[in-house]
Amino acid sequence: MEDTTKQKKDNVLLNLCCSIIIPIIILSKFSKPEYLGATYGLIIALCFPLGYGIYYYIKTRKSNFISILGFVSILLTGSIGLLNLPSEWIAYERAMIPFLIGVAVLVSLKTKYPLVRTFLYNDAIFDVENINKKLEEKGNVKLFEKQMSRSSVWLALTFFVTAIVNFVVAKIVVVHATGTAEFNAELAKMKLISLGVVAIPSTIALFFILQYLLKSLQKLSDIPMDDLYAPALREKMK
């Protein structure tokens, strides 16, 4: 159990370093002509999140709609910079990914596998097997599906708001032409700003949606709140 937990923590730290910290340092500090230069600085900075994504897939053999979009986002950012396309395209690229996720969340409501289950109602957070059993016993499966649909709409709205904020931040911050050290520095600045005005509020919104699900599950299944969590998560919370 300790090895598994340690591995998960190490992966989170590695992901944070490769996806955010190292690219920001390279883009902001080492893209100047006297160091790597704008082009090589951008290439090397993008290699870290791209490399981690490939490494994680090879290690876990796990791929999903969200990770694919993340991979596409990195390629688009690199293409815009390396092909010297207009810098304002960054704003559209930054807005496109969360917008597509929001649309996918809504569309998935019409399928057997709504994406809200991937984000929130999954085995990593909830004791899904036991909860579903209790919901069936009490005849509350349809009621819970309605609550899930409502949560999906809120989740989609969160991504739509994220798309709008991403677009505005990129339009304001990224103003220099692609292929320059200034452009790379602005990409780094955009990432930092996004942490405060996008990532943190989005995390808070997801927390409230999760709390709504918890209360709905507790009411419909009569399972004590603490027992709703996945067994592994309950161990960590002790």
Return d(Cα 92, Cα 168) in angstroms, integer. 10
Q: Where are the alpha helices (DSSP H) in 111-199?
A: 115-119, 128-138, 141-173, 181-194
Per residue in 136-167, pLDDT (tens digit) is 988 888 898 888 888 889 989 999 999 999 99
Collect the ranges in the chain with pLDDT lower than 70: 1-12, 61-70, 237-238
Would the pTM count as exceeding 0.85? no
The whole-number pLDDT of residue 169 equals 93
What are the CA-CA distances from residue 82 to residues 4, 177, 178 (Å)? 39, 11, 8
* Structural tokens at position 169: 């931040």
The whole-number pLDDT of residue 212 equals 87
The whole-number pLDDT of residue 51 equals 83
CA 131 to chain centre: 26
The whole-number pLDDT of residue 69 equals 66
The whole-number pLDDT of residue 126 equals 85
Q: Which bin fits 190, alpha (ψ -120 to 50), beta or left (φ > 0)?
A: alpha
- Do residues 146 and 213 make contact, with C-beta atoms less than 8 angstroms apart? no
The whole-number pLDDT of residue 199 equals 81
DSSP state of 126: B
Return d(Cα 119, Cα 43) in angstroms, integer. 31
The whole-number pLDDT of residue 5 equals 42
